[in-house]
A and B are shown apart, each in its own frame.
Chain A
Amino acid sequence: MTEAAAVEKVEDIEIRLLLEALFLKYHYDFRNYAMASIKRRLKKAREQLGFETFSAMQEGLLHDQAMLPQLLRFLTVQVSEMFRDPSYFKAIREKVVPHLRTYPSLKVWIAGCSSGEELYSLVILFREEGLEDRTIFYATDISHEALEAAETGVYALDRIQLFTENHRKSGGKSSLSDYYQAAYGKALFDKTLRRNVVFSDHSLVTDAVFAEMHLISCRNVMIYFDRALQDRAVGLFKDSLARKGFLGLGAKENLRFSCHADAFTDFVREEKIYQRRAE
């Protein structure tokens, strides 16, 4: 690294202080997130919340509790799709489900569920495969707003065409329209889809194991973490999974750089579905 680059920019120092303040005052820990994306999101927040500098934003955050949800909205914003990457859900259906069928009861964890698209995708898939009734789904996120959105299960109607197409490509055995009612430009998903779902505030950064899982799906969440934090999260998944339990990641995520890689085997390599070793 050149000498010039070794001197930290003022703005970067301000960002670190802001994240420290966020942690010390409110216990939201973004300190080990991958900085480039955090910086972009914070810049957008600074612009839209009307602060000149990150230092001014830090002061605002420390003295005005009402700013917390506003800031978190920028830091945790995440857009997903139902059945995003249909081939992933197809692999869950065709390769993972036959193993899951052998258990009398199942626990599934959607870690970082955001506004619930991945959750509903899995619940619908499990219903189609006749596994829903014996399954508890844990949908967790650090954002209360996201959890509320997930629990509400309302999506803009103009996204439904994409969701429907994805569902079909994933090998869906029913019609997606069986699961929602359209009204006023929105699609309201059937509340029975939530009857076996537990929504909960949980942080992969600071919280611990809470149940023994058979399947954990955590897609495009860990790309926002630095390597140390990725290791922590994967360690948590390792400790949460039953022997021979499954871990599904995003299309461009893998365990190659993880210190826990040895605890897993590739189950469906091209879909980033891993299986916990039996030991």
Chain B
Amino acid sequence: MTPVKAQAVTIGASAGAVEALSAILPALPQSFPLPVIVVVHVPSDRPSLMVDLFRAKCRLPVEEAEDKQSLETGTIYFAPPDYHLLVETDRNLSLSSDEPVLFSRPSIDILFESAADAFGPALIAIVLTGANRDGADGLAAVHEAGGTAIVQNPEGAHARAMPEAAIQSCPSALVLSLDAIAEYLKEV
């Protein structure tokens, strides 16, 4: 089988997200050829600080995802608080106000499952630190669709539960340190 060239990256993170993402997103070069779509569990009742925070740190443009927006390469999109973020098969983003999944809105599973559907083998999906099990089912869906599944090594994670659940649900995922994830992405 010829390897499929990746066309998008999705990342899910919860407790400890800022620190973990800070090891990855600022490392991406200005020429990074893929859109990066990120779900972080943030409080639903106030504006997220993620966009401003990472805009200041990253070489790539950082935006809060908007409904029906088309994905641009080399752009980082954060899910807005209190909405699920999905990728449509025409590769536009869409938002939903459906009920929280595993108490989370945005839900990592929902992003990953829809992105797996849209990108199939051309997706790289990454589960980072977190204290719940969101992302585990989504990562399995990504793997099943032929995409690349990556999990932060629980050893170095601020909270182990989420990476551990992801590894359990998707045993063939690559388990990498944050630095190794950043290196991996720089090679795509």
Contact = CB atoms under 8 A, between A and B. Distances in A.
Given A36-B87, A36-B88, A37-B86, 5 more contacts: A2-B4, A5-B122, A78-B98, A79-B97, A223-B83
Interface residues of A, number: 28
Interface of B: 4, 66-68, 80, 82-84, 86-89, 94-99, 110, 113-114, 117-122
Contacts of B95: 223, 252
A39 B117 contact: yes
Contacts of A34: 68, 86, 88, 94, 96
Interface in A228-268: 230, 250-254, 256-257
Given A4-B120, A252-B67, A40 B87 contact: no
Contacts of B119: 5
Interface of A: 2, 4-5, 12, 34-37, 39-41, 77-80, 220, 223-224, 226-227, 230, 250-254, 256-257
Contacts, number: 70
B122 A253 contact: no
A186 to B, nearest CB: 19
B67 A253 contact: yes
Contacts of A35: 88-89
B110 to A, nearest CB: 7
The 3 closest A-B pairs by CB, nearest first: A36-B86, A220-B97, A36-B114
A257 B118 CA distance: 22
24 contacts: A2-B4, A2-B122, A4-B120, A4-B121, A5-B122, A34-B68, A34-B94, A35-B89, A36-B86, A36-B87, A36-B94, A37-B98, A39-B117, A40-B86, A40-B110, A41-B98, A78-B98, A223-B67, A223-B83, A223-B97, A250-B97, A251-B80, A252-B67, A252-B95
